[in-house]
Amino acid sequence: MSLERPDTVDDGAVERTPDELEALLGDLVVDRDDHLNAPGFVIRPDTVQETLRTLKEQAGYDHLSVVSAQEYENRYESIYHLKKYDDPTQEVSIVVPADKDDPVSESAEPVFRTADWHEREAYDLIGIEYDDHPDLRRILLPETWQGHPLSMDYDKDRPQIATLPEHANPLEDHHKDAESDTMFLNIGPHHPATHGVLHLKTVLDGEQVADVEPDIGYLHRSEEQMAQSGTYRHQIMPYPDRWDYISAGLLNEWAYARAAEDLADIEVPEYAQVIRTMGAEMCRIAAHMLALATFALDINGDFTATFMYAINDRERVQNLLEDLTGQRLMFNYFRLGGVVWDLPEPREEFFSDTRDFLDQLPESIEEYHNLITSNEIFQMRTIDTGILPPEVAKNYGATGPVARGSGVDYDLRRDDPYGYYDELDWDVVTEDGCDNFSRLLVRMREVEESAKIIEQCVDLLEDWPEDERNIQANVPRTLRPDDDTEIYRAVEGAKGELGIYIRADGTDKPARFKIRSPCFSNLQTLPEMANGEYIPDVIAALGSLDVVLGEVDR
Amino acid sequence: MGTAPAQLFPEFIVDTLGLDSVIGEVAASLVAAFVVGNIILAFTGVAGPWAKRKITAAFTDRIAVDRIGPYGLLIIPAAAVQLLAKELIIPEGVDRPSWDIAPILLPASALLGFSVIPMGQLGPINLQLADPEVGFALVFAFASIASVSLVMAGYASNNKYSLLGGLRAVAQNLAYEIPLIVTAMSVVIFAGTLQMSGIVGAQTETLVAVAGVSIPSWYAFVNPFAFVLFLTANMAEIGRNPFDIPEAPTEIVGGYQTEYSSAYFVLFYLGEFVHIFLGGAILAVTFLGGASGPGPESIGFIWFVVKIWGFFLFTQWARAALPRVRIDQLIEIGWKGMLVLSFANLVLTAVIVGVIA
C-alpha cells in the first residue's frame, strides 16, 4: 500500500506522551495549556531558545510550523506550533506569555531560522518584541506605520500620516568596503518575473548576486483581521479563495473547513469528503500548471509556447471546476460540514468531461517533458542552480513541492490524513536534486498523482448510491465554540502546509485567526538559494518556489 | 554566372533615364538607396506588428490579430499610429545626445548593411546598390555597429537594468562576432573573393545531380558544419533566442531598451527587425546561394525574399521553443566552444581547398 511510511524511523520519530514531554522539559514548564490539536506547555519568555532546542534536538520536533501571537486582557502571548517532519501528527505547542506593559520575549530564530519572519510579523501586527532577534523590523506594513493593528488598543480611525524621512542606505555597512565593487538593484515591486508585487533588494557583484532580501507586504489585505470579524458559519469561507488565488481556492477553503470543523466537532459526510478531495486535486492541477507555465516563462522568455500550452491545460481543468462550483476563481464551494451543492446535473456529462480531461493529460505531460525537461539548454539552466539542501529547507519550515524537491518526504495528505486521501491509492512524490529542476519535476509528477486521485474519486462518485448522497452534515445555524479553545490545523495546499490557528472565545467569531501560509515560509529560503548565483538563477529560483504574493502577504 | 552580371541598381537608373552628370549619378544612387531601404522597412512593417504575432500565435495555439482588415493586416497602420502617438518619456539624468542617437544608430547600421547585399533581380532590375571588392568584410563591419548602439543606449539611460543589458550586449557580441567572421572566412577561402557577387556566383555550379534534380553547390550543402556554426553565431549576433540575453525581459526587464518609449522604442524595434533581416540576408548570400533558385534569373529577388523570411520564421520558432541560456554559459559557449570549432573549420577548409584546388 502506497500510503505506508518508509521504515526508516529514527529516534526522533518516537512518540512521547505529553507527560513524558513535560518530564523532558523539566523546570522549563510553568504551566499546561493544551490545545485541541496538541499538548501545550507554558514557559517563561526568557527560556524560549532552551525549550525549543531541547524539543528539537532531544525529542525530534524539527518543524516550526508557525508562530502565532495575540494579545489578551492581561498579557501578550506567542505560540510556537511545533511538529515533526517525519510525523506531523505529533505536535506540541509552546505558549510564551509576555508582560502586558513590556511585551518582550526571547527570539526562537537561533534555533529555527524560520522564526525570523514569523516573529517579525508578530512584532509588526501585535507588538511583541523579540530579544536576540537578528533583524526585528516591520515586515507586512510600511516602516512608517504607527501602532500594531491587531493589538487591543490600536486606533483604527487614526489616519496614518507619518512620512518616510529617508530610506536606509542599503550599501552602508555590509557589501561595501574600499575594495568591493557592488551595485544595489531593486528587483520589483514591478518586474516581469516577480509573480506579483514582490520587491527583492538585491546587491550585485557584476552579474552575480552578493545578497538578496525579499521585501514583502505590498499585497497585505488584513485577511486575518477580516476573518476575525466574520462569523464561523458563513462569513469566513469566501476569504480563503483570496489567499492563494492561483486557482488553489478549494485547497485553501479546506484549510479553514478542517480547522473550524475540528474546533466545532463537526463530522463531514463521506460523500462530501470525496467531492472535496476531487475538487481539491483539480485545484492542485490548475495551480501546478500555472507554476509550470510561469517557470517556463522565466526560463524561456516571453514568447514561449510552453506557457500557452500549460495555460490551455489549466483552462480545461478550470472548466471542470466551473461546472462543479459555478465559479472560475473564487469558488466559495466548501461549507462547514460539507460542500454547498452536489455534482452538476447531468452527472454523466460531468464524469465524461472529467474523464476526457484525465485521458488527454498524460499526452500533455509528455509534451512538457519534450519541450522543457528534456531540453539540454533547460537542463543547463535549472540543474544544480538554486540549491536548497534538505536540512536548510527544514530549518526554514519549507513545505510542499519546495521541500519535496529537496527530498523531504512530507505531505500532509498522507502524513496527517484528512478528507478521503487515506482510502485512495496514490504516491507522495519526492526528488533528491534539491535544485530548480527537481522542484519543477515534483510538480509535474504531482499532477499525475492528482490525476490518479481524481480518477478514483470519479469512480467512487459514479457508483455512489443515490439515497446516500449526503453533501452536508447538520450544522447549527450559529456556531459558538467553547471559550478559550485553541486549535491549529493544516492541509496540504498547492504550495505546502496551509494551516489555520483559531482561538475561540465563546462568541460566533474567532478571537484570533492566524494563517500559516506555505509561501511565506518558502519565500524565506530565497536568499539561501540565490546568494552567489547569477541574476537569471535568482529569477529561476523564485519561479521554482512558486510563491503567490496574495498568500505571502495575506 | 551563366549570363553577364547585370548592372547594379544605381547604374541601371542612370542608364535608363540617361543621367550622365555627377549630380545625376548621385541622385540615382539616392533614389536606388531609397527604394532598397523602403523594401526592407516594408518587410519590417509587415513583420513587426503582424507576421510576428501571427507566427507566434501559430506556435502557441492561439489566434492573433484578426479583427482589423483581411487577416488582420490593417493592424499594421493601426499599430504604427498607436506607437508613434505615444508620449516620448525622457527620464531624468539620461545622457543626451547619446540617448537620442542610440535608437537611430541601430536601424541605420543594419540598413547600411543592405547596401552591399545582392538581393537578386526583379525583372530587369538588379537590386544591389554597390558591389565593392571588400563587400563581404564591409557587411560584417556595418552589422557590428549595432552593438555600439546597444552600449550607448544601455549606458545613457541611467538605469541599472539598461546598464546590465548594455554590458551583456558587449560581452555577447565579442564572444560571437569572432566565430561568426572566422566561419565566414572559410567561405571566402572556397570562393576566393570578398566580393558579394563573387561569393554568390561561386555557388551557382551544380554540386551533384540526383535523378535529374541538380543540387547547387550552395555552401550550406558543401560545408554543412560551417553552416550550423554560422547559423548559431548569427542568432547570437542578432540577439534572438536562445541568445536574447541583452534584453531578457524576465530577468533585466528589456535591458538597454527599458527606458525607451514612443518613437525611440519603435526605432529600436525597427532596428532589431532590420537586423534579423540583415542576418538572414548575410546567411542567404554566404550559404544559401544568394538569390538563386529554380526559374529564370529575373525572379531571383523572390527567392531571396523567401530565404530571408525563412530565416525570420526560424528565429520566431526558436523564440517559441528554446530556453534562454545564462550569460556566463553564453560566454563559455562562445569562447570555449564556438571559437575553437570555427578555427578548426577554417583550418580544415584551408587544407581541403589547398589540397584539392
Q: Are the CB atoms for A365 and A358 separated by under 8 Å?
A: no
Q: Which residues of B295-332 are buried (b: 16+ CB within 10 A; e: fewer)?
A: eebebbbebbbebbbebbebbbbbbbbbbbbbbebbbe
Assess contact for B243 and B78: CB atoms under 8 A.
no
Residue with cell 462550483: A325
- Can you give the three-state secondary structure of chain B, one letter per residue? CCCCCCCCHHHHHHHHHCCCCHHHHHHHHHHHHHHHHHHHHHHHHHHHHHHHHHHHHHHCCCCCCCCCCHHHCCHHHHHHHHHHHCCCCCCCCCCCCHHHHHHHHHHHHHHHHHHHCCCCEECCEECCCCCCCCHHHHHHHHHHHHHHHHHHHHHHCCCHHHHHHHHHHHHHHHHHHHHHHHHHHHHHHHHCCCCHHHHHHCCCCEEEEECCEEEECCHHHHCHHHHHHHHHHHHHHCCCCCCCCCCCHHHHCCHHHCCCCHHHHHHHHHHHHHHHHHHHHHHHHHHCCCCCCCCCHHHHHHHHHHHHHHHHHHHHHHHHHCCCCCHHHHHHHHHHHHHHHHHHHHHHHHHHHHHHC
Q: Is B336 on the interface with A (CB under 8 A)?
A: no
Is the peptide bond between A362 and the residue preceding it cis, with omega within 30 degrees of 0? no
Chain A interface includes B328 (CB < 8 A): yes
Work out the pLDDT band at A501, boundaries 50, 70, 90: very high
Please calculate the CA angle A495-A500-A505 and round it to the nearest 5 degrees: 170
Cell 460523500: give the residue.
A271
A495 and A245 Cβ atoms separated by less than 8 Å: no
Query: Is A151 an interface residue toward B (CB < 8 Å)?
Result: no
Residue A12 has pLDDT above 70, yes or no: no
The neighbouring-strand residues paired with A94 are A41, A80
Question: What pLDDT was estimated at residue A176?
Answer: 56
pLDDT band at A244 (very low <50, low <70, confident <90, very high): confident
| Cα three-residue angle A301-A306-A310, rounded to 5 degrees | 130
What is residue A8's predicted lDDT score, i.e. its pLDDT? 44
β-bridge pairing A183-187 and A497-504: unpaired
Interface residue B17 vs chain A (CB under 8 A): no
In DSSP notation, A254-294 reads: HHHHHHHHHHHT-PPPHHHHHHHHHHHHHHHHHHHHHHHHH
State the Cα–Cα distance between residues A81 and A206, nearest whole angstrom: 42
Residue A474's pLDDT is what? 84
Statement: residue A180 has pLDDT above 70: no
Residues listed for chain B: 357
Please tell me the predicted confidence (pLDDT) of residue A169.
62
Q: Is A380 on the interface with B (CB under 8 A)?
A: yes
Nearest CA in chain B to A195: B250
Q: Which domains occur in chain A, in start order?
A: 11-131 (3.30.460.80), 233-385+414-428+444-516 (1.10.645.10)
B182 and B221 in contact (C-beta within 8 Å)? no
Any CB–CB contact under 8 A between A185 and chain B? yes
**Partner residue opposite A303 with nearest CB, options B61, B248, B319:** B319
B260 to chain A nearest CA, in Å?
Answer: 16
Q: For residue A497, what is the DSSP state?
A: E
Question: Is residue A122 within 8 Å of A42, Cβ to Cβ?
Answer: no
Contact A42, A32 (CB under 8 A): yes
Q: Which residue of A has its CA nearest to B162?
A: A185
Alpha carbons within 13 angstroms on the beta-carbon side of residue A266 total: 28
> Best mutation site among B250, B252, B272, B319 for testing chain A: the one with the most A CBs within 10 Å?
B250
Q: Tell me the torsion sign for CA atoms B156, B160, B162, B166.
A: positive
B186 touches chain A (CB under 8 A): no
- A122 pLDDT band, cuts 50/70/90, is very high
CB A545 within 8 A of CB A238: no
The answer to whether A357 touches A287, Cβ cutoff 8 Å, is no
Q: Residue A11: pLDDT band by 50, 70, 90 thresholds?
A: low
Q: How many angstroms from the chain centroid is the CA of residue A336?
A: 21
User: Which of A6-15, A193-202, A293-302 has the weakest average pLDDT?
Assistant: A6-15
Measured distance CA(B8)–CA(B121) in Å, rounded: 10
Q: What is the pLDDT of residues A391-423, one digit of tens each?
A: 999 999 999 999 999 989 899 988 888 888 988
Decide if B253 touches A, using CB distance below 8 A.
yes
**C-alpha angle A202/A208/A213, rounded to 5°?**
20
Tell me the chain B residues in contact with residue A307 when contact means C-beta distances shorter than 8 Å: 60
What mean pLDDT do residues A157-164 have? 77
Q: Do B62 and A308 touch (CB under 8 A)?
A: yes
pLDDT at A9: 43
With CB atoms and an 8 Å threshold, state whether B320 touches A312: no
**B90 vs chain A: nearest CA distance in angstroms?**
20
pLDDT less than 70: residues of chain B: 1-6, 211-212, 357
pLDDT over 50 (residue A1): no
pLDDT of residue A173: 58
In chain B, which residue's Cα lies nearest the Cα of A205?
B164
For the record, the C-alpha cell of B31 comes out as 533614389
d(Cα A78, Cα A99) in Å, to the nearest integer? 11
Check if the beta carbon of residue A554 is closer than 8 Å to that of residue A525. Answer: no
C-beta atoms of A536 and B59 within 8 A: no
What was the pLDDT predicted at A211? 85
Region A436-463: what's the mean pLDDT? 91
Bridge-partner residues for B125, per DSSP?
B122
Helix (H, G, I), strand (E, B) or coil at A222: coil
Q: Are A510 and A232 in contact (CB under 8 A)?
A: yes
Q: How far apart are CA A394 and CA A84, in angstroms?
A: 10
Residue with cell 544559401: B288
Half-sphere exposure of residue A273: CA atoms within 13 angstroms, side-chain side: 16
Q: Kindly report the nearest CA distance between residue B309 and chain A, in angstroms.
A: 19
User: Is some CB atom of chain B closer than 8 A to the CB atom of A532?
Assistant: no
Report pLDDT for A118: 92
Report chain A's C-alpha Rg in angstroms. 23
Q: Which candidate, B300, B308, B288, B258, places its Cα nearest to that of B103?
A: B258
- Distance between CA atoms of A93 and A61, rounded to whole angstroms? 11
Q: Which residues of chain A does B168 touch, with a Cβ-Cβ cutoff of 8 Å? A: 207
Contact A12, A84 (CB under 8 A): yes
Distance CA A212, CA A530 (A): 7
Q: What is the pLDDT of residues A427-445, one digit of tens each?
A: 899 988 889 999 999 999 9
d(Cα B324, Cα A297) in Å, to the nearest integer?
A: 10
Amino acid B250: pLDDT: 80
- pLDDT surpassing 50 at residue A6: no
Torsion sign (Cα): B173, B178, B179, B180: positive
Strands A63-71 and A40-43: unpaired
> Considering only CB atoms, which chain B residues are within 8 Å of A183?
160
Over pLDDT 70: what percentage of chain A?
A: 94
Q: Does B158 touch chain A (CB under 8 A)?
A: no
Cα Rg of chain B (Å, integer): 21
